[in-house]
Amino acid sequence: MNSELAPRAKVALYGLICLLLIPFVFPTWWMVTSSLKPISDIFVFPPQLFPSHPDWSSYRQVFSIQPFAQQYWNSAWIAAVVTAGTLAIASMAGYAFARIRFPGADALFVVVLTGLLIPSEVTIVPLFRLFLMAGAINTHWPLVLIPMFGPPCVFATFVMRQFFVTLPRELEEAARVDGLGRFEIFRTIALPLARPALASVAIFTFLNSWNLYLEPIVFLSTPAKFTLPQALTQYTDAYGGPMWNIQLAAATLTALPVLIVFVLAQKQFVEGLAHSGLKG
**Cβ-based nearer residue to other proteins, 98 or 218:** 98
How many residues appear in the chain? 280
Toward other proteins, which CB reaches closer, 106 or 178? 178
Return d(Cα 163, Cα 221) in angstroms, integer. Answer: 40
Is 174 a binding residue for other proteins by CB under 8 A? The answer is yes
Cβ distance to other proteins smaller for residue 180 or 265: 180
- Least distance to other proteins from the beta carbon of 196, Å? 12
Is-contact 151 115, C-beta < 8 A? yes
Select the residue interacting with other proteins from 18, 108, 122, 173 (CB under 8 A). Answer: 173
- For 100, 107, 111, 162, the CA distances from 104, given in Å and listed in that order, are 11, 5, 10, 18
Instruction: Output 55 or 271, the one with its CB closest to other proteins.
Output: 271
Q: Is 105 in the site for other proteins (CB under 8 A)?
A: no
Q: In angstroms, rounded to a whole number, what is the distance separating the alpha carbons of residues 33 and 251? A: 12
Element (H, E) at 239: none
Rounded CA separation 250/229 (Å)? 10
Is the separation of the CB atoms in 86 and 159 below 8 Å?
no
Residue 148 CB neighbours (<10 A)? 21
Stretch in the footprint of other proteins (CB under 8 A) among 5-13, 145-153, 165-173, 269-277: 165-173
Q: Smallest distance from the beta carbon of 277 to other proteins, in angstroms?
A: 20
Among 10, 60, 129, 176, which residue interacts with other proteins (rule: CB under 8 A)? 176
Residues at the interface with other proteins (CB under 8 A):
168, 170-171, 173-180, 184, 189, 192-193
